Each structure stands twice: as C-alpha cells, then as structure tokens.
Amino acid sequence: MQKFILLTLLSLLMISCTVTKTIYQGPRLPNDQIARIICDPAPIRIDGKDIKWFNIGWNETTTLEVLPGTHTIGFRTIATRPSPGVTILPARKFSRTFTIMAGHIYRVNCCGYIKDVTGE
C-alpha cells in the first residue's frame, strides 16, 4: 500500500512539472503521427501565432505537440540573475526554424539549439 501511495505522489509531482500544448487542430493523434518539442524556455510563438500559456511556474517544462514538417518557433528568454562570477545576460527574443519528423521527440534549449532525443 505504501508503494502505491508513493508512486501516486511521484506521478502527480511529475505531471505538475510539465505543461503540454497541442498545436494542431482536430482530435488528438497517436504518438507516431505527431512530434513533441520539449522547450526551455517556454515558446511564445509558433508559425506566426502566439501561444497562450497559463500558470507556468519557474521550473516547469513546456512541451509542444505538433504535426511533422517545418515550424518556426519564437522564444523569449529572461535576464539571468546576478551571482558571483556570472555574466548577466539581458532578456531577448529569438526564433528558430526546424524540420521535424513524426514519432520523434526534440529538445530545444535556451540558445535555440534543437536535439532529437527520441529513445533517450
């Protein structure tokens, strides 16, 4: 019983740390027909359309579910907080264009570098 409670709490914690947004129209498609893009920071635009996020916390990961093809994703970074020996970077906006394949999972970092992490 304790194991069940622990697994349930762990599952809830994992769910609360991830925000997923489906970007295509229509019914939810199977994983082999879409791609997932895990983003840090959260994207603000995709293919020229604003993305509306609600209640995103500081440490939450954002995931886009998209159809395969070429997509342009816009991001906004926040300024880094000053600490000893760290260069302060200003907030900035940037966009990147990627061609992605169905059934794959991609990770985009704060510099716009994308990596296929399918199977990792």
Residues 53-101: pLDDT tens digits?
655 554 567 888 999 999 998 887 766 556 666 656 666 788 889 899 9
Tell which wins on pLDDT, 43 or 108.
108
pLDDT at 119: 86
Query: How far apart are the C-alpha atoms of 94 and 118, rounded to whole Å?
Result: 25
* pLDDT at residue 105 greater than cutoff 90: yes
Give the model's confidence band at 19: pLDDT under 50 very low, under 70 low, under 90 confident, else very high. confident
pTM: 0.70
Mean pLDDT of the chain, nearest integer: 76
Tell which wins on pLDDT, 112 or 47.
47
Number of structural domains found in the chain: 1
Under 8 Å between Cβ of 66 and 100:
yes
Query: How far apart are the C-alpha atoms of 23 and 52, rounded to whole Å?
Result: 11
Query: How far apart are the C-alpha atoms of 44 and 78, rounded to whole Å?
Result: 12
pLDDT at 6: 45
Can you give the residue range of the structural domain that contains 49?
2-116
pLDDT at 111: 73
Structure tokens at 27: 């019914």
Query: How far apart are the C-alpha atoms of 75 and 64, rounded to whole Å?
Result: 13
